[in-house]
Structure 1
C-alpha cells in the first residue's frame, strides 16, 4: 500500500534535521512511492517569532523531493512545539500516513514494511518518563485509569498482563517518534481534541503531574487504543530497527546507534555539507570528526540502560551539542 511520510520542520535545528531525513529517504529507499511532506508552522499569534525555515533549507528540501506543507498553529505553538505533530495532521491529504520525528534517519526501505494502517501503533523506544508517582498521590494504575475513564475507553484491554499492576510497562505508553494510521484527518482530530482536553481540564489524578513536555505521549496511547491499535508486533520491527533510526541528537547517534546509521549519515555528509555547515552539531560531529570521539566512549553491546547517563558522559567530555 502506498502511504505518505510526515515530519515537522521550522527555523533552527529542525530544518537541518529535515534535510538529513529527506536525503536519507532518497538514499535508503529510492523506490518509495508515497510523498514526503515536511510540515511547516506558519507565523501567527501562537508563535513569538517567525517559525518558518530559511529559503536555503526550503530549496534543499524541495530538491530532495520533499513537499513543504504549511499549517496553522491554533492550539499550541511556542509554548508547546511538540504540538506541531498533532496540528500538522490536519494539513495532510487524507491518505495512510507514517509520522516520523524529524531527528530520524532512514536506513532501509520503509516501503517494504507490512503496515496495517487500520490498526495504528507507535514507537516502543521509550523510558519510564510519565507519570511520576508521588509518595501519597494516586498510583500509576489510578493515574492512567482516570484518562481511560475520561474518554470512555476499556482500560483493561490495553494492559500487558505479563507485567504486574503499577509497573510502568503494563500500561500502554509510547514514544511519539513514529506513529501511523489510515486517516490523518480522523486520527488528528481526535489527537488534538483529547490533548486539549487533558491540557485544559486534567482529571483530578493528574493534579501533581507535569504535562509538558509529555502531553503528546500521554494522549497518543489513548488515541491509538481508541482506533483499535496497540503495541507494535514483529512485522513492524524495521521501525527503530533496520529501516529507521530515531537518533534524537547527533552526539547520541554516534554514541549509541548502529554502524549502519553512522554509515548513512557520513555517506550523505559530502553532498549536504554546503547546506548543513551552519548547523553546529553537524559541523562538530561530522565535519570536524568529533562524532568518532563520542563513539569510542561507549560499548554499543553494553550501553547504559538510561539515556541520561549517556548524555551526562557526553556533556562531561565536551561532546554535547544540538
Structure 2
C-alpha cells in the first residue's frame, strides 16, 4: 500500500556533472517508484552576479528531464552561488509549492525502491544520518563539541539540551544533533527554506566566537541543518525511515564509490536505468559516466574490493581507486 500523503521532491540541476546526475535520478525515480504522484522539481540556478559562468543546464538534458516527468524551475542565487554551490539546496527550496510536504535529495542519489511506501512524518522534519564526525573539527585550542554546538543553539534562541542524544557520552560527536544534508524533509518548504537561509547566512557572516577556528566550507549546510530541523520540531529520523540510505535510496556521491561499495542490487539498478538509448546518448557526453557505466571501468573498480571487508574509512577507498588510475567524478 502506498503512503497516503502526497509530497513533492526537489533536486538541484545545473551545468556540468549535476545535470547528468539529475537525469539518472529522474530515470531511477520513474523506474523504481512508479506510484509517485507528487512533483519532481529540479531547481536550476540562473545567471547573475553570483555565477561567473552560466549555471543553466543544456537544452537536450532539460528536454530529457521533462520527458521523464520532471519540472525545471529557475531560481536566483542571492546569498550563495559559485562561492558555495551547496547553497543551491538552501536557496532552491523557494521553487517548491509552499505548505506542501517535500523531500529534498542530493542529485547524486539513486532511487532503488518505492518511495511512496516510506512512512514520512512531515510534521516532524528529519535528515540523513549517513554521516561521520566531520564537523566540528577537533583542533588544538578548540573549546569542544558542547561549547561549539551550544553557542549555535543559544545564538538562535533554541533549546540545546533537548537536542542531545543522552545515550551517547559527553563530548562524543554522536551525542549532538548532526546530519548529512543528502536528504531532508518537512511539511512546508517556504518555512524550512527561510530558516535554513537565515541560519546559514548568519553562521557564515557572524559566527559565534567558539567557531573562530572552525572551517565552514563545505560544512555550512550541515552546521545549519540540525538547527533548522530542531527549530521546526523535528529530530533524528525514526526506524521507519531506514529505507532511505538503504533499500529505497542510495546517496552514491561519486560513481567510483558506488561501484566499489554498492550492493549488487544498486549496481543493477544504475545500469538498468542508464541503458535506454535516449539516456545513454546524453550520459555519454560526460566522460566519467561514459567510462564508468558504458566502458566497463566501474566493474574494474568493483573487482578491486571485497564488499564484505571494505576499508573502514572512505579515504582509503578513494586512495586505492586513485592509485589504480580509476578515480573520476
With the length of structure 2 as denominator, give the TM-score of the two structures: 0.97
What secondary structure is seen at the aligned counterpart in 2 of 1:270? coil
Q: Aligned equivalents of 2:44 and 2:84: distance in 1?
A: 15
> Across the two proteins, how many residue pairs are aligned to each other?
322
Instruction: Name the residue aligned to 2:196.
Output: 191
Superposition deviation, residue 300 in structure 1: 1.6
Superposition deviation, residue 301 in structure 1: 2.1
Superposition deviation, residue 54 in structure 1: 0.5
Which string of whole-angstrom CA distances, capped at 9 and with x for unpartnered residues, describes residues 88-119 of structure 1?
11121111000000000000001111110000
The within-5 A match list for 1:233-272 is 233-271=238-276, 272=279
Instruction: Name the residue aligned to 2:328.
Output: 321
Superposition deviation, residue 41 in structure 1: 0.2
Superposition deviation, residue 137 in structure 1: 2.2
Instruction: Name the residue aligned to 1:18.
Output: 22
What secondary structure is seen at the aligned counterpart in 2 of 1:266? helix
Moved more, 177-186 or 289-298: 289-298
Instruction: Name the residue aligned to 2:134.
Output: 129
Superposition deviation, residue 153 in structure 1: 1.1
Q: Which runs of 5+ in 1 are unaligned?
A: none
Which string of whole-angstrom CA distances, capped at 9 and with x for unpartnered residues, describes residues 7-55 of structure 1?
0010000000000000000100111010100110000111110000001
Instruction: Name the residue aligned to 1:154.
Output: 159
Instruction: Name the residue aligned to 1:90.
Output: 94
Instruction: Name the residue aligned to 2:292.
Output: 285
The within-5 A match list for 1:159-174 is 159-174=164-179
Q: Aligned equivalents of 2:207 and 2:222: distance in 1?
A: 15
1:114 pairs with one of 84, 95, 119:
119
What secondary structure is seen at the aligned counterpart in 1 of 2:207? coil
Structure 1 residue 66 and structure 2 residue 70: aligned? Answer: yes
Q: Aligned equivalents of 1:158 and 1:288: distance in 2?
A: 48
Instruction: Name the residue aligned to 1:302.
Output: 309
What secondary structure is seen at the aligned counterpart in 2 of 1:78? helix
What secondary structure is seen at the aligned counterpart in 2 of 1:242? coil
Superposition deviation, residue 299 in structure 1: 1.9
Q: Which runs of 5+ in 2 are unaligned?
A: none
